[in-house]
Structure 1
Amino acid sequence: MIAAGDVLIVLFKHYGLGLFFKDISISPLQHIVRFNKGLKLESLYDCGDKDATFVGSQQWIGSIELGYCLENMAGIQSRVLTTNSGTEVIGNIRQLVLHFETCGTPIMIGGGMLAHTILGIDFNELTGESSFLVLDPHYSGDEDLHTIITRGWCGWKMPSFWKQEYFYNLLLPIPPKNVI
């Protein structure tokens, strides 16, 4: 199994700022990325991705917007993979494994109006079988790992988890060399 570094899952309320900002709190990037509510949304306005009405709103953002924020706010570059279906997510498995081996950061993935974070991949080179350790950032309850795991908020998902009818954007943050 290849995991996203030594991931400590610490969930917190996201205050309507977009699910992917919760994802970054579990990442090794949390040590160099410091967010505050106004700066998050203003960053998307400042880079031209959103208009002024977005600042102060509670609209969701996706993996592409998170990439803009990481770049504009912390100078963290990311690689983006865009797929046309869940099958194409699986087709990129070797690239995702390589990302975990070389970068170690969680992969934010959005598609079908949902957001998830891939924390690790179990991939068998011989058989091609795979599964994904997925965190669902929609969870908003207590920080109880037993509940989070037993109710499916974080767990291993089979390739069929990625739906064929949706396209997916995957954000693969590349940490600065002196961080991880």
Structure 2
Amino acid sequence: MTTSKLLVNIHEGIEIQKHLGKVYLVSGNYEYYHYLCDGFDDRGWGCGYRTLQTICSWINFNYKENGEVPSIHQIQEILVGLEDKPKSFLRSRQWIGSFEVCLVIDKLYDVPCKIVHVNKGEDLKTIVNTLVTHFEQLGSPIMMGGDIDCSSKGIMGIHVNQQGDASLLVVDPHYVGKEQSNQFLQSKGWVKWQPLNDFLSSSFYNLCLPQVRSKIKID
């Protein structure tokens, strides 16, 4: 796998009251892709691509050795080649969502993905068991996006407290700046535990769950 200067596993060290519930996390390493991380200016529209790149880095670390993380332009070329997008999509600033992420992962790695659709934010609680099972059995990162809450994000874990209330471990690709540290990104909220109640109730959400098991043993 091509080495980069990106931070790895930026969720490590983040605090959660584990004694008040159970935590289920991504298994294995991933790199944190975000706005401008490779010098390409995708501010305002590239969050879906960056989350996809983060997932691709995980697949390369944990499933397909010596793989390459596709650039934004390469991702657009794949979607045009699959006839999911017209040729005008190339070098455009059109965003992508969970469905396009599924297509690219399947094309690049022959890995199927499961799409989970939630009609409104307040219904996210209905998929808690689905997410717990995903992290327990597979351990791959999840892509999450919505319509009103249109900012794509990576989900690297779920915490369920003793009352059954859940929080998602969000890795936000909207950060712009030089690589700092896990602690810096966590202190600024670029990686955080977000209670389900804090997601927009008026927005629907689509989640892309790559159906691939990490080579790293899941305890």
* TM interval, short-chain normalised: 0.7 to 0.9
Check whether the contact 1:10–1:143 (CA below 8 A) recurs between aligned residues.
no
- Describe the SS at the equivalent of 1:96: helix
**Counterpart of 1:131?**
167
Cα-Cα RMSD: 2.2
Check whether the contact 1:136–1:153 (CA below 8 A) recurs between aligned residues.
yes
Deviation (angstroms), 1:107:
0.9
Q: For 1:61 and 1:152, how far apart are their aligned partners in 2?
A: 23
Q: For 2:97 and 2:173, how far apart are their aligned partners in 1?
A: 12
Check whether the contact 1:135–1:154 (CA below 8 A) recurs between aligned residues.
yes
- Describe the SS at the equivalent of 1:70: helix
**Counterpart of 1:114?**
151
Of 13-22 and 46-55, the range deviating more from structure 2: 13-22
| Letter matched to residue 20 of structure 1 | G
| Letter matched to residue 25 of structure 1 | T
2:108 is aligned with 1:70:
no
**Counterpart of 1:54?**
89
Which consecutive segments of 4 or more residues in structure 1 shift more than 6 A?
none
**Counterpart of 2:50?**
22
Q: For 1:21 and 1:138, how far apart are their aligned partners in 2?
A: 11
2:211 is aligned with 1:146:
no
Give the TM-score taking structure 1 as reference length.
Answer: 0.88
Q: Which runs of 5+ in 1 are unaligned?
A: none
2:34 is aligned with 1:6:
no
Check whether the contact 1:5–1:28 (CA below 8 A) recurs between aligned residues.
no
Pairing partner for 2:121 from 75, 86, 94? 86
Aligned residues: 178
Q: Which runs of 5+ in 2 are unaligned?
A: 1-22
Q: For 1:11 and 1:47, how far apart are their aligned partners in 2?
A: 24
Over 3 Å counting, the alpha-carbon distance change for 1:39 and 1:9 in structure 2 is closer
Q: For 2:29 and 2:199, how far apart are their aligned partners in 1?
A: 22
Deviation (angstroms), 1:73:
2.1
Q: For 1:163 and 1:5, how far apart are their aligned partners in 2?
A: 28
| Letter matched to residue 176 of structure 2 | S
Check whether the contact 2:49–2:72 (CA below 8 A) recurs between aligned residues.
no
